A and B are shown apart, each in its own frame.
Chain A
Amino acid sequence: MEIVIDIDNSVPLFAQPWVGNDVTEVVEQIKRAVLGGKIGPGDALPSIRQLANDLELDRKMVAKAYRLLERDSVIQTKGYRGTFVHPDGKANSA
């Protein structure tokens, strides 16, 4: 399952520090992947560093996206083991 970000369509973090377009895109695409069953409960998500480097985004943006997804119980962080899709992730992505 791939996530695609348009880097030309981004709002700089300093201009909208609470949430940027890239953050919203990451959040929405992960929610869509969970909702569409592309990734299921318990599946491991990439680390913040990995995803940020692959998408060439600032780590703070990906961290922010993960925090928002965690707040909505779409994903859950299990300490050093990493970040996983929440057991109720599908229901919470709708």
Chain B
Amino acid sequence: MRGQLGQMLFYFVFLSQVLLISFYFPRKILGRVKHVVEKYPPSAYPRLYPVSLDVTKKAQRTYWIMNLFALLVGIVLVFVGLWWPSEDMLHWDSESVLLIYLLLQYSPMIIAATAGFTYFNLMRKADSRSTRKAELRRRSVLDFVSPAVLGLAIFVYVAFVLVIVYVRQFEFPWFGGYSNIVGITVANLVFAGVIVHNLYGKKKDPYQAYEDRARQIGVTIRGLVWTSILATAFVALSIGLAAFDLRHLQPITLSLYFQVLAVITFRATRIDDVNFEVYREDPLAT
């Protein structure tokens, strides 16, 4: 990073990443969990709790402690960076440090998501109903995302590939070549796989209402389509910064990119309008 101002700007952006992902969002998520437990207690909504409340409270505590640890590490990184300034973070490579730190920040979320699979499996095992329902309506991507946004994602990807193929002819020393296409293509294939699994795969929560599932699929698909657009735009921006000898700005754009991704991920955890009545022992009793 060039200059003291550049460093200050980077650590300001990085501090925002630290606080957003390791403090603000986890606090919001735990607030939502607390709200659900208080408003929909196990006594009235037993289907929602395949494990005892103590187990979920312990899991919440672990989640919070892990986030606090990531928060602490982040703050230490900011202090170290400001007190012992260097060209790159920890006198190493800023982008590598950012990536490793992001993994640390996301590890509580990844562990929570893994625990979520176990939780839904326990719900499924406890589900004593013998009937299964399905809507006689085909789900397709365009039910959940507008053709314009999907078209934009395809256009951005195709334009990116064409630009890379064009720039490749000149063999610039700063240019990564076709590896950019491979990276973005692999990411898009993973996104496509997740979209197909969401559209046609088994629902994880056996009690989930059709409307809630549709809403959840919609949030996931829109999030992934926008992530695809942003990922391509980010790689294009990184190439642009390298071309104009502005590589020192890359850590800032990377941190901002991570924060936008975090906002998209956080949006997927919204619980507004969820039909919790399906978790009552006898839904007809309401």
Q: Does A associate with B in a complex?
A: yes
A: residues with CB less than 8 A from B are 1-9, 30, 33, 38-39, 44-47, 49-51, 53-57, 82
Residue of B nearest to A38 (CB): B136
Contact of B138 among A6, A30, A47 (CB under 8 A): A47
Selecting from B162-170, B171-179, B200-208, the interface stretch reads B200-208
Residue of A nearest to B136 (CB): A1
Collect the chain B residues with CB atoms within 8 Å of residue A82's CB: 138
Contact indicator per residue, chain B 182-225, by CB within 8 Å of chain A (1) or not (0): 00000000000000000111110000001000000000000000
Contact of B133 among A3, A39, A44, A45 (CB under 8 A): A3
CB within 8 Å of A: which B119-146 residues:
130-139
Collect the chain A residues with CB atoms within 8 Å of residue B200's CB: 47, 49-50, 53
Question: Interface size class for chain B?
Answer: 10 to 19
Collect the chain A residues with CB atoms within 8 Å of residue B132's CB: 4-5, 7, 54-57
Contact A9 B136 (CB under 8 A): no
Contact A50 B133 (CB under 8 A): no
Collect the chain B residues with CB atoms within 8 Å of residue A51's CB: 134
Min Cβ gap B208→A in Å is 11
- Give the 8 A-B residue pairs with the shortest CB-CB distance, closest first: A54-B134, A8-B130, A44-B138, A1-B136, A50-B200, A53-B202, A49-B200, A55-B132
Residue of A nearest to B197 (CB): A53
Q: List 30 A-B contacts (CB under 8 A).
A: A1-B135, A1-B137, A2-B133, A2-B134, A2-B136, A2-B210, A3-B133, A3-B136, A5-B134, A6-B130, A8-B130, A38-B136, A44-B137, A44-B138, A45-B136, A45-B138, A46-B135, A46-B136, A47-B138, A47-B200, A49-B200, A50-B199, A51-B134, A54-B132, A54-B134, A54-B202, A54-B203, A55-B133, A56-B132, A82-B138
Residue of B nearest to A82 (CB): B138
Collect the chain B residues with CB atoms within 8 Å of residue A46's CB: 134-139
Bound CA–CA A54/B203 (angstroms): 7
Bound CA–CA A54/B137 (angstroms): 11
Collect the chain A residues with CB atoms within 8 Å of residue B202's CB: 53-54, 56
Min Cβ gap A10→B in Å is 10
Collect the chain B residues with CB atoms within 8 Å of residue A54's CB: 132-135, 202-203
Q: A7-B130, A9-B130, A56-B202 are in contact. Are A50 and B136 (CB under 8 A)?
A: no
Collect the chain B residues with CB atoms within 8 Å of residue A38's CB: 136
Collect the chain B residues with CB atoms within 8 Å of residue A47's CB: 138, 200
Bound CA–CA A39/B135 (angstroms): 11
Contact A2 B130 (CB under 8 A): no
Collect the chain B residues with CB atoms within 8 Å of residue A30's CB: 136
Min Cβ gap A9→B in Å is 7
